[in-house]
Structure 1
């Protein structure tokens, strides 16, 4: 029996067009209805959401009829279109603006207003690794659109022969046609940026390690001990990823010096108040003699302090080191080894 031959249940006649559409989307659910929601305008989403909220109970006969009609009609439709823009538009109706921004930046890859802004935020080694497999003319078009300093670093990462070929084409290049540039942008979005976004999604154990790093030590140990009972593998993974104050003291002198330079001196004094003599010596060695003496005097003049306050200060230094690493000022090769260098 065809979809059009199925008799309408009486309850369906009470529903308006938007209510029928809302009922169908309710039946389809998130997984199957998602592509439809993504293709709607903001006003359409609002109208259907309003209609859905007022539906009440949808009889099984109505749901079955809507699904049968939908399956018959959709077979003759063109495919639905999902894009960054439609996804962002849908999320904007469902999530707070700051959350939408976070999600879309994760999907799109490195931040920036345009594709070329985003590409300028990609490390030269990573970008060169992608471009070395492209045609020299394509590479020339891309590098001509980037900041000169970034293009120069990318070229230095390519083989000498390939880089010279790219430079030669950049010298001979006339104005790039708009459709060619759009095609290059489209390819970068679909093939390169999307892969970066996927590769940059964090292991949840890394996120949890950051969370444990921010706890005081007694809570941290209690939580990890409890986790070891229920999920020993996860607990072990989190422990291996945690970067502690002890790990911080194992960095090479230039990295320690960078942390000392960026740290608040009062926080540094409080952190070292609770450190061992060996750990304290690591930081003092990164200071001038005068600065080190002043710090030792400040520590001595503190008197008794709570252990919790010292631990909190040490956690601040740990987070500072990780921020410096994220900015590329220092490199933490392995949180549990002393093989770290400053770049």
Structure 2
């Protein structure tokens, strides 16, 4: 079982009230992933549950001093490493950004609801809102916006370098109309080419190229910069062997076989080269036996795997190659 599935087993075993208390301390995305896992781990044997709890208890038994005074520790380390001036913005983003309750509340909303909330706002405000969402969430919101708005928002997002005071005031007004009470949102550095590239990676095939072409018409250099930082399925061939093996441990073989339909030969060779000979043979045999599949299914499987790769890169489990620096 994957880590998320093991966590789901633990929560299911705790009971409703205890599980609910645990979930209160998690982010919206973590709750969503755990919720999905909890609905899909049925039929697990008693021995499997016992093994999960044995691992869980073993981890809990390990002494750890982490967590105590973590904020002060992070602040001191960053100041020593980067200097007061360079570290201040990063410290605000890491520590103070957790208090942006107005923006955090958006992460719990459906993409279409967010799109409705900002539909009549200035594109600059929409860009700021998008910059604070997770890339996959922001991509879904972007899909719900009118075509004429998408390009403008993405252009502003890619060139966003910090939030000016007047924009923050407007954003506060947006939040105040949607949620009761005033929001104490601190200034932070958000947006940029990397954020735009991350969001485009989660757009449907065809939509990303349409948006890139429109951006290039306005600013060709910016369009090329965004394209250079995008990480697509073919870029998996550039992963080192250790990273590829780590990815393969968490990817279901049926999703992998589906994603490899029509993939570049370099990607197929990279993946099968990091599997045992028998596992590679089974994968290729399953692909041949499956027969024709819809392109939409292939693209969905590829995006699912890419999302997992980006998550591993974000958490530091793996390092992506050259063009994937946006996700490291």
The TM-score normalised by the length of structure 1 is: 0.43
CA radius of gyration, larger in: 1
